[in-house]
Structure 1
Amino acid sequence: MIGMWTAIKRTILGDKIDGKLPARVQAAIARQQIQSEILIAWVQVFIVITFSSLYALSPKTFSADAMFAPVPYALLVYGLFTLLRLTLAYWGKVPAWFIALSVVADMALLMFLIWSFHIQYQQPPSFYLKAPTLLYVFIFIALRALRFEATYVLLAGASAAVGWLILLGYAVHLEDGMAQITRNYVEFTMSHKILLGAEFDKVISIVVVTLILALVIVRARRLLINSVAQATAAEDLSRFFSPEIAAQITHSESWIEPGTGEGRQAAILHCDLQGFTKLSMEKPANEVISLLAEYQSRMVLVIQKHGGTIDKFLGDGILATFGAAVTTECYAADCLRAMEDLDKEAAAWSEERVAEGKDPMTVRFVSAAGPIIFGAVGDSSRLEYTVIGEPVNLAAKLDKHAKDEKATGVTTREMLELAKEQGYAPQTRLEPREGRHVDGVSGTVDLAIFRA
């Protein structure tokens, strides 16, 4: 029985929001609510301008000696109230009580305007019950839906229903109002007679529309909160993964399973801080982490500028890919362009440190290209996107070999030729070194060394 009731509630109200929302999610929703308040206030300004224009341009059907013409006063009061609300909305300081007051004020002004018709046109009170102006209540009720809070929609609907019942009671009980009641629909439509059923139909319509809108808002609000929570989680995810990997995770059309991967042609870039291991043993922990963060922030920006994706941070090492997470036809050219800019950035960083009285730092960059496998590894509780293949292994081995070459930038001759085919035009001098023996690699490797 409980399970059935839960299923019914879920069908009616939508998915339940689990747990307390994080402060940042609540802040994001609050920002959305402020924007909604501004939008509502501007819609109200539009309503004031529209009603004022229609009133000014429309011919007046009441006599010139009518004792009371309330429309200009009502619009003036409503306009001033709306301007105050708009100002508070832009300040982001619209308290809940003021919003509730605004809802009631909207309906009160509308009902007052309708009530005044019988005085303005010198007719019995039942005259205003036929005023089409009642339809405006649905505008004001719908207006409250922009805030995605069912409470204010319910308050608007309740205010409208109660307001109309008060107007109906006033018309029925004033003077000989009871004599105005009829059960004849034709007589009702052709005279000032009151048909109670027709008036109750109006109230029922207001109540039903209000309840439907409130239900829609409850469901929409749950969806909004879940969407904001997921968007915030995706934003947080992009801090731990590269934007490309985060996009693959959040936009995946199916559940990502371990062991799924694709074969691609890509370039692998490996960055490494020379002498970092020794430095990390000699310097205080906070200084080491600060240095690492400074180094990574500068290098990552350059890598991403050229379309590279950060695969992982390996202590002081940065493993990046070009063409793996996002396929491209110029992966090798992009990688070598990135290496050129990385070399310049590293030199500038080292010079800045020397100018600040700190030790200079040397960064090595190596790269290789070829077929790789890009996919998810791990188990269902802990997944990681990674790249596997000979270029990955070769880049790691070239990183160690770069010390032997006494070079800060090393790539393979094969990758250099491929990059040139893809449109790469070297902006720095590349020195060929052929037939090099690299530890862990069978045979020899033709290399290209970056020279300033």
Structure 2
Amino acid sequence: MAESTGKTKQDTGRLPSRVEAAIREQEAQNEILIGWVQLTVVSIWSVLYTLSPKTFAETARFEPIPWVLSAYFAFTILRLVLSYRRLLPPWFLALSVIGDIVLLMVTIWSFHLQYEQPASFYLKAPTILYVFIFIALRSFRLEVGYVLLAGIGSALGWLALVAYAMVVDPTDPMITRDYVDYLTSNAVLIGAEFDKVISILMVTAILAVAIHRGRRLLVRAVAEGTAARDLSRFFAPEVARKITHAEAELSAGSGEHREATILYVDIRGFTALSARLEPKQVLRILAEYQALVGPALRRHRGSIDKFLGDGVLATFGAAEPDSAHAANALRAIRALLAATRDWTPDAELLAPGALRICMAAASGRVVFGAVGDAERLEYTVIGDAVNRAAKLEKHTKALGVRALCDGATRELAAAAPDLPGLSAIGEQSVEGTDGSVEIYEIRED
């Protein structure tokens, strides 16, 4: 046999497309959150600017801050609209990061014009603290690149402002080594500005490391969440929850006793019929049949243990304890009898009533747990009730009926309301079981 040279996504380290799509959707939701936070920030700036006293503004010939805030507000609105429409390509996100930093730095730079002060005046503005908000905002995206871009951009922007303040007036660079003079005047203390840059870079580095680790956790969580949803399609939801929420690693032999009712459903004559049908036709009939059986079982707290070709093995009270397991099984049988009474899956192939769906229930103590080996595990039920249900279903053919249950099921459900009619057949020998079995026919009405 030729050896395949193709590689799976697991081989190449790539995530399945559905997992990548889930991560992209989470990132899109985070971008919406970022947009709203940015809108809140620019709104706060606008309110603070409107309410703050403007001692020097009255004599100023130009007020750039309203223009800067207006441009930033418009940019933020555009970004928010695009985020809702999922139209934020990577280049636009990078542009958005740069735009945030540029607009912030321009706003800070404009202070010395607004208040007619030396350029070094803006270096004392607490507005520089907003860079930490913009850097932290990028952590929502859980992509290191955008955080690094925001942090390094902020550090370079602040260095540019410091350099401008030092060279704008060649006759007076306003540099001082006196800390008191720095705090009480417009003088520039190189060490203090260096501390600000170091703080920006350190916060950026810490966030980048945290985001790198956090993204790995996000990918794992999304992958496991997707796997859990997939498991619920291959297993009963109760079993899927057991697997995904197990506190310890599952292994063969882990299980527990349950008082449960087992229900076996089968299509009479389907094996012979499938031999003369095309595979596509066989699977179509099975899909339609299983679409009838599954909802009826789940409505009455039944769990599908497995599909056995045209057979369905279901449990009541095994995957999750249920004191009314026998009554629920009988109600599910009544629903199945009604749903499949006149079922003809393909009128062109089959005459009405050509397929006859039969079923049987048996109750008793079973073991519910994991079986298999280290490479392949399966949750299932083991016990006499399982065998009895399967054999009783086969016995429906000998009796010419569609649904049977054993005496244990009838006794457990006797006091429950709203049950289907039961007709006593009596004790009979059933092939494949030990001794005789008390049998009841289950009627639809």
The alignment's TM-score, normalised by the length of structure 2, stands at: 0.93
Counterpart in 2 of 1:128? 122
Partner of 2:339 in structure 1?
Answer: 345
Which of 425, 431, 434 does residue 423 from structure 2 map onto? 431
CA deviations over 1:50-96 (Å, ceiling 9, x no partner): 22222223333334121222221111101111111111111111111
C-alpha separation in 2, matches of 1:106 and 1:177: 33
1:6 corresponds to which residue?
none
* Structure 2 contact 343–352 (Cα < 8 Å) conserved: no
Measured in 2, the distance between the counterparts of 1:36 and 1:244 equals 32
Distance in 2 separating the partners of 1:63 and 1:94:
38
2:364/2:384 contact within 8 Å kept = yes
Q: Tell me the equivalent position of 2:235.
A: 241
Which amino acid in the other structure matches residue 445 of structure 1?
V
**Paired letter, 1:407:** V
Contact kept, 8 Å, 2:302 with 2:316, in 1: the verdict is yes
Q: C-alpha distance in 2, partners of 1:438/1:248?
A: 35
User: 1:32-47 counterparts in 2 under 5 A?
Assistant: 32-47=26-41
Given that 1:353 and 1:359 are in contact with CA atoms closer than 8 Å, whether structure 2 keeps it comes out as no
1:162 matched to 2:160:
no
Partner of 2:106: 112
> How far did residue 18 of structure 1 move?
7.8
User: How far did residue 355 of structure 1 move?
Assistant: 10
Q: 53, 60, 65: which is aligned to 2:54?
A: 60
Matches within 5 A, 1:82-231: 82-176=76-170, 178-231=172-225
CA RMSD, aligned part only? Answer: 1.8
Contact residue 413 and residue 432 of structure 1 kept, 8 A: no
**1:280 alignment partner, one of 271, 274, 294:** 274
C-alpha separation between the residues in 1 aligned to 2:239 and 2:171? 73
Give 2:436's aligned residue.
Answer: 444
Tell me by how many angstroms 1:178 deviates: 4.8
What one-letter code is carried by the residue in structure 2 that aligns with 1:87? V
**Quick one: distance in 1 between partners of 2:80 and 2:97?**
14
Cα deviation, residue 357, structure 1:
7.4
Distance 1:278 1:198, change over 3 A: same
Question: Where does residue 400 of structure 2 map in the other structure?
Answer: 406
Judging changes above 3 Å, is the alpha-carbon distance between structure 1 residues 111 and 416 closer, same or farther for their aligned structure 2 residues? same
The separation in 1 between residues aligned to 2:172 and 2:325, in whole angstroms, is: 87
**4+ runs deviating over 6 angstroms:** none
Q: Report the Cα distance in structure 1 between the residues aligned to 2:55 and 2:134, rounded to whole angstroms.
A: 26
Q: Which secondary structure state, in structure 1, belongs to the residue aligned with residue 425 of structure 2?
A: strand
CA contact (8 A) 2:285 2:346 kept: no
Q: How many pairs align?
A: 433
Give the secondary structure class of the aligned counterpart of 2:371.
strand
* Greater CA drift, 259-268 or 200-209: 259-268
Residue 234 of structure 1, CA deviation: 2.0
| 1:333–1:419 CA contact under 8 A, matched in 2 | yes
| Equivalent residue, structure 1, for 2:255 | 261
Letter in 1 for 2:278: P
Helix, strand or coil at the partner of 1:368: strand
Letter matched to residue 425 of structure 1 = D
Q: Deviations over 1:254-306 (max 9, x none)?
A: 11111222111000000000110111112112101110111012201111121
The whole-number CA distance in structure 2 between the counterparts of 1:121 and 1:265 is 82
Q: Distance in 1 between matches of 2:14 and 2:212?
A: 17
**What are the Cα deviations for residues 19-73 of structure 1, in whole angstroms up to 9, with x where unaligned?**
1111111111111111111111111122222222222233333341212222211
Q: Which amino acid aligns with 1:165?
A: L
Gaps of 5+ in 1: 1-16
Looking at structure 1, the residues matched to 273 and 431 of structure 2 have their Cα atoms a distance apart, in angstroms, of 25
Alignment correspondent of 1:335: 329
Q: Tell me the SS of whatever aligns to 1:347.
A: coil
Aligned-pair CA distance for 1:108: 0.6
Q: 1:178 and 1:447 mapped to 2: Cα distance?
A: 107
CA displacement 1:407-436 (0-9 Å, x = unmatched): 111112331121133x3432x332111122
Tell me if structure 1 keeps the 8 A contact 2:406–2:440. Answer: yes
Secondary structure of the residue that 1:180 maps to in structure 2? coil
1:24 to 18, 24, 39: 18
Question: What TM-score results when the alignment is normalised by the length of structure 1?
Answer: 0.92
Alpha carbons of structure 1 residues 207 and 19: separation in structure 2 relative to 1, 3 Å: same
Name the structure with the higher helix share.
1
Equivalent residue, structure 2, for 1:7:
none
Match of 2:6 in 1: none
C-alpha separation in 1, matches of 2:175 and 2:45: 32
Distance 2:172 2:215 in 1: 46
* Superposed CA offset, 1:169-197 (max 9, x none): 00011114654111110111011111000
Query: Quick one: which of 372, 387, 395 aligns to 2:366?
Result: 372
Structure 1 distance, partners of 2:59, 2:16, is 63
Q: Judge which range, 304-313 or 198-207, deviates more.
A: 304-313
Equivalent-residue separation in structure 1 for 2:434 and 2:72 (angstroms): 85
Q: 297, 312, 315: which one pairs with 2:309?
A: 315
* 1:251 Cα deviation from its structure 2 partner: 1.1
Contact 2:364-2:408 within 8 A present in 1 as well: no
Distance 1:378 1:198 in 2: 67
Deviations 1:322-378 (CA, angstroms, capped at 9, x unpaired) = 11111111111111111111111112534x756997543321110010100111111
Number of the residue aligned with 1:5: none
